[in-house]
Structure 1
Amino acid sequence: MYLYGASGHGKVIAEIAEENNLIIEAFIDQDKSKKQLLDYHIIHEVPNSNIDVVVSIGNNLIRKSVVDLYQQLNYIKLFHPKSIISKRVRIEEGTVVMAGATINSEVAIGKHCIINTNASIDHDCIFDNFVHISPNVSIAGNVEIGEGTHIGIGSSIIQGIKIGRWCTIGAGAVIIRDIPDGATVVGNPGKVIRS
């Protein structure tokens, strides 16, 4: 397998692959000054279309642009063995679940999402593609999160909330109302500061 994106986020994903006894052939990164990350070589072009890949880039928009550019690749999902995932969860291709994350019953997670360290996701949530749930986020049941939205570290979202597409929820925000597409939200309770 290959990891596309040789930076800090890539290091974490590489260690998840190692925990799953997967062989990493190399990182792929367009920055030609990068030669090695951890114990792995960095190459600067996709070797061919018949490879297993995880996009190891934390930025949702960049991750989406890579996937749009290389649609022919075989995108796999990775789950840290110390995550807790209900057998009734549906998780799409390219999504990564980090150590300590808990995902409860009947959750649906789209393509190329990041469920980061110690995130807690309760029952019946729906996440669209390219969502990033940061470390220590707590999401109650029946929450819907639109494409490309980033939920900042330590945020909390009460039950039944709908968050739009390509939103940014600031670190530690407490979300008690629905959030429209493209909004940036901070504070407790969460307040839209830009849309």
Structure 2
Amino acid sequence: MLLYGASGHAKVIISCLRANRVPISGIFDDDLQKKDLWSIPVIGKYNPDFDNESLLIIAIGNNQIRRKIASFIQHPFGKVTHPSAIIDESVKMSAGSVIFHNVVVQADVNIGKHVIINTSSSVDHDCVLGDFVHIAPNATLCGNVQVGEGTLIGAGSIVTPNITIGKNCLIAAGSVITKHIPDFAIVRGNPARVLKITYD
């Protein structure tokens, strides 16, 4: 496996890969000062010819940066789940996505490409997570929640059942979502309210 990104988020992905006994041959990173991470060589800027048959995971938490990098990667994308995660056999998980420690993903959840389901979060039945979504630590999605592409659900947030959240939204940590959220919204509070629509 190869990674792109050699910072804190990469450490958690490395933990997941090591728990699954998956070897990591190197890490791409645009910061040429970085030489290694946990004894794994950082090999510099992306090179499509380096170990070009290996799978790659983009180890960057920011949704927009992850999407930008995915647009030029030529390696095939991998996916990884930590062994402590409880994932129903009916779950569909697309390439590039990662599921971290102590996560629960229930029946018939559909996970898009390059999604992060972070530590101890819970995604209940029939949820749909668009590409480049990030479900932050300890967030809870109740049943049949739809999350649009590029949206961040902040740490400790709760989304009640049957809610649709648009694309490229920012749900602040600790928010409680009880109503549908439009695209490009910045949302905070309990109950949550839309603070701003960004349109970018």
TM-score if structure 2 supplies the norm length? 0.95
Which string of whole-angstrom CA distances, capped at 9 and with x for unpartnered residues, describes residues 124-144 of structure 1?
Answer: 000110000000001100000
Q: What's the counterpart of residue 68 of structure 1?
A: 71
Deviation at residue 47 of structure 1 after TM alignment: 4.9
Compute the displacement of 1:145 (Å).
0.2
Match of 1:161 in 2: 163
Counterpart check, 1:50 vs 2:59: no
Q: What residue in structure 1 maps to residue 82 of structure 2?
A: 80
Q: How many corresponding residue pairs?
A: 194
Alignment partner, residue 41 of structure 1: 41
Cα deviation, 1:89-111, whole Å, max 9, x if unaligned, reads 00000100001000000000000
- Letter aligned with residue 67 of structure 1: A
Distance 1:133 1:9 in 2: 13
Trace 1:105-144 onto structure 2 (pairs within 5 A): 105-144=107-146
Tell me what 1:94 maps to: 96
Q: Secondary structure at the match of 1:15?
A: helix
Tell me how far apart the structure 2 counterparts of residues 47 and 37 of structure 1 sit (CA, whole Å). Answer: 21
CA distance in 2, matches of 1:35, 1:100: 31
Instruction: For 1:20-35, list aligned pairs within 5 A.
Output: 20-35=20-35
Which ranges in structure 1 are unaligned for 5 or more consecutive residues? none
Shift of 1:46: 2.1
- Partner of residue 12, structure 2: 12
- Specify the SS of the correspondent of 2:42: strand
Superposition TM-score, scaled by structure 1 size: 0.98
1:51 deviates by: 2.5
Q: CA deviation at 1:50?
A: 2.8
Quote the RMSD (CA, aligned, Å): 0.8
1:10 and 1:112, CA in 2 relative to 1: closer, same or farther beyond 3 A? same
SS of 1:185's partner is strand
Q: For residues 7-41 of structure 1, what are the alpha-carbon distances to aligned partners after superposition, in whole Å with 9 as ceiling and x for unaligned? A: 00000101101011111011110110111111211
Distance 1:127 1:11 in 2: 24
Letter in 2 for 1:61: Q
Task: Give the % identical residues.
Answer: 43
* Equivalent pair of 2:48/2:75 in contact (CA under 8 Å): no
Aligned partner of 1:145 among 144, 147, 150: 147
SS of the residue 1:12 aligns to: helix
Q: Please identify runs of 4+ aligned residues in structure 1 that moved more than 6 A.
A: none
The DSSP-based 3-state class of the residue aligned with 1:74 is coil
